[in-house]
Structure 1
Amino acid sequence: MPGRWHLRPFIAVSLLGLVIAFVLITLLSFYAVFRLLIMREVERTNVEAVVNDMLRIEERFQEVEETALTVATNRRLVDRLDDPPADVYDRIVASRELADWLSGIVYVKSYLTSIQIYTDSPLAKAGSRILPMSDVPWEGELVRFREVDAFWISARSDPWASGGPAQVLTFVIKIWNSRNVPIGYVEMNLNERALWESIGGRVDRERGVGRMYVLLDREGRIVSRSPEFDESRLAGTNWLERAALTREGAEVIGGARSKELMVVVRDSTGSRKLVSFVPVGEAFRNMERLRNLVLAVGAVVLMSTLPTAAFISDRVIQPIVRLLEGFKRVETGNFRWRLGPFSIVEFDQLAQSYNAMAEQLQGLLEQLEEEHRKKRDAELRLLQSQIHPHFLYNTLDMINWTAAAKGAVEASEMAAKLARLLRISLGKPEQWIPLDEELEHVSLYAQIQRVRFGDRFEFVDRVTDEFRDLYVPRVILQPLVENAIKHGFDADAGERAQVVVSAVALDEKRFCLMVEDNGKGFAPGSPVRFEQAGGRGIANVHDRIRLYFGPEYGVECSNRQPRGAVVRIVLPVIRSGEGDDPR
């Protein structure tokens, strides 16, 4: 046997390794803390920058909206559109005056490319700033006027721009007359490039990378992108979906070329989001230097600890790995795996304890399996054993014929019913029978009991046809009805007893048989009472069902209001024709 060790001297030998580990932990902790601080500072700085950019964009949008509102409420414009001159020449003059006025606004507001008025007024004409409604280029957006009086349209081309077609963001607002009736729309086009130039360029032209922006609306749709926006940098990141779901803040996402720092900021109204992207390498450039320094120091320390690490791995790690492997084998049911011997005394003791435990578990498992097999075989033999009492059937038939011949009609009927009841319960070898036969069996039992109780006992079968073809274990209802009669009613008190059998579906795979009575119910504090009735009581029914189908099935007992009890049997849906063995 190899040399044995005690844990205490072994720990002393391993102290050198622990010291080195402490140094490594210190270095890593230092790096992690400073990395976190740098990341937070960089994220805070970037968020502040994007917030300022969002404020400038929001200010520009407000300027456009205020200008559009001024145009839409201009009294001269409203009067001309609502009550145009009757003379053609006067209309032409009025149209030119309004066009010149709109051109002056565009000239003053350099960030605007054009202003158009769309109306059905006679002043409208093609090629002018006052156009007919049929020329509306954003006709598909008109449905939005059902909910609002003004809205923004995502980036599009403006053919009316003074310097030629340009990409614009369009703001549209209704024009109302004095009778509060809409008579047209003001279209105000904001130059997209001018919008992004208003927040300043942050692209590193030499490196070809830098910050890029995208503007989203409330629904997360793209309204505009900055000129330097390069979506290939974000390939495979689902950035649009993530930005739409992010309320505000910064996060790092993996791009096709490199990781990107994504910053999301909302405007004051919550109707728009400004999303910026900057390469992580650019944002966290200082952190890379810190990381390289820590890696260099860590590499030197690790190289010096290799002999100690090998020693610890051989003396400590390997026994632990073997122990873990042994426990994993126990989990899978393999109790024959043995451990040891180990050179460390404590590990060797653990191995011996494990080996003893595995042997005991193996013995107990074999014992339990044998007991379970014997119990199951005994129960199945008891449940499956069938008596073929032909002499009993013949005797009952002879009693029936003799009683009928002598005029004892009631005795004859009871003998016939008892013979039929025994044929159903004992006459067939199958363990499962159609529910219809089981209901016939319990009905015969109830009819025999009715001879005893007369009009003071009533049995009601309310099971619908949809359940009668389902297969159930044999003799599961009669013990429940017997229990209701025996324990639920006082035979000497003259009570009128009623037992009702019904069925309901629980889901596609389960249904429930219910036996309800109007008796005195279960005793308080005893919600469940499984009485034995000739070896086939409620407990027997419950155990048989759980044995056949599992713990989710069985018998449940409870009281009814205002009085009485209900016993529920939860069974699987087993339809005829599914095989000889319904399980």
Structure 2
Amino acid sequence: MPLIHFIKNSLKWKSVIIFLLLVTIPSGIIGSIVLYQSNKILKEQIITTTHQNLGNMESQLTNVIKEIEDISRYMIYSQEFRDFMTYPAVTGEDYNHLNQVRSNISGFFVFHQSEKDYFHSVQIEGENKQVLSVGETVEGNEKQWVEGAKERKGEMLWSSPYQMYNQRTGQDEEVVTLFRVINNLYNITEPIGLVRIRLDLQALYQQVTDGFTNEQHQAFLVHNKEQNITSSKFGPDFSYQAIINNIHTEGESFQLESKGDVYYGVSRYIEPLDMHLVSVVSETYILSEMKDIRSTFGYMILISIFMGLMTFAGFVVFVVRPILELTRETKRVEHGDFSAQVKVRSNDEIGQLGYRFNSMVEQIQRLIDNKYKLEIQNKHSELKALQSQINPHFLYNTLDMLRWTARLEKAPNTSKSIEDLSTLFRITLSQGKVWIPLADELKYVQSYMELQKRRLGETFQYAIFIEAGLASSIVLKLMLEPLVENSFKHGFPQSQENKNITIRCYLKGDVMIIDCSDNGMGIDKAKVKHLLHATEEQDSYALKNVHDRITNAFGNHYGIEVIEVASGATVRIKVPWIKDKGMLNQLIEGDDR
């Protein structure tokens, strides 16, 4: 009960409870629901992609099988194949015809072998004892498959994977072969030959899976009876029995384990080859994809909570705090302290309330103060106002009088120096203007350097270069002179005879660059960087003042930076190109123009 009473009488704690009930708890609940649904959808998408890849691979493998079977069908209807297997070899003309047919058939299979990497070799045996072998020369026991094909009497027989010795490479190679007895076209019960079309199993796997497998999605060819698995060299290691058992018990979708990692698998049965085409995806990969989504939504939840905190903080700062301050200052007035004032931070209803409170307290204070104090304060204010109304034209007129007096007395150098000094004063005061044309800024710097040249004589030279069309550009007043002054103060040793300063003004895209270069003893880049971010006043504080003025006006992308040069020092000013006053009014609203 005391806690409820405390919350009931505290505006701050009421705000905290409202924030928890309306922002934090709903954000957590909604974020959890969205995260769960996103993970579920992502997992389904990955499994669906695995099914799609498997379907594409199945289509590829089916096309290969159909293409090989079509070749065997073609042999039945082709006159050349029938001639090769049945034509008698008696006369020389018979041999010539058989050699021509042999050459044509060899060309036919060489073409297929060159077009298909998985096409291993072909062997044709005719009833006329003619034998043709095309492709790799191999040795091996194929007796059981030959007998099986003869028992089928013309039906196609696909073998299970078996080893054949390649005489060219000297290695055993795994093949799968189509065996078929070729029957007479006009007497289908009469066999005229036997054909064997061998396919390289590993090359066939590459052909089928190319473009559909990667580190995350792997595929296998698993024979239904023989303990044989064909896969890539970099895929996960599964036992034959584990895959077959899962296929037989779980169906097309199942789970596997390898080295502690779980894989989701899907399979399709390829009936002609008596093989299963299997595609798997790692659970680790699925979780990693979910991890990215979880991280993203986690960040979103944190951002939403942060934004809620910012909103709550804004509510406390702009609503609760002014009301608490008003309550505190009201108690001061209640105890007779009429100096109480509320800080007005806005023009909304809360700000107007504070403003009215301050006006009320001031009105009460004026009624209490006596007439004598008011009169003394009015006199003091009038005196300060008179002191602040000094007209700078008196100073300009005096300098002009001295300049003309110097000319009359035939002292042109003195007259020129006074004229430069007058230019400095006019631009420095300039009726409180903040923005001036670039031409006036350069004129100010030129007058300053002319005065330095009078002091230093021939030991100092300067040059000013400006790109055409930039003279009327608008810049901040007095942003270039501190750079030149810094060269005299810190850049040139007193003993240096030849002092040079070069100023270049040019455009780089929409940015106006002003480089101030000298041939002095150089500048410490790290020191200048520290200076530009210093809070206390120190030597060359004018550089920081210029940098702060630029960044305050245009942002942190602009300001002062030191450029690496072989000798001397180059300090660069970067400001946006303000072509005229109209563009200035669009760029900076509310500032002095």
TM norm structure 1: 0.39
> What TM-score, normalized by structure 2, do the two folds share?
0.39
Computing the radius of gyration from Cα coordinates, the structure with the larger value is 2
- Structure with a larger share of its residues in helix: 2
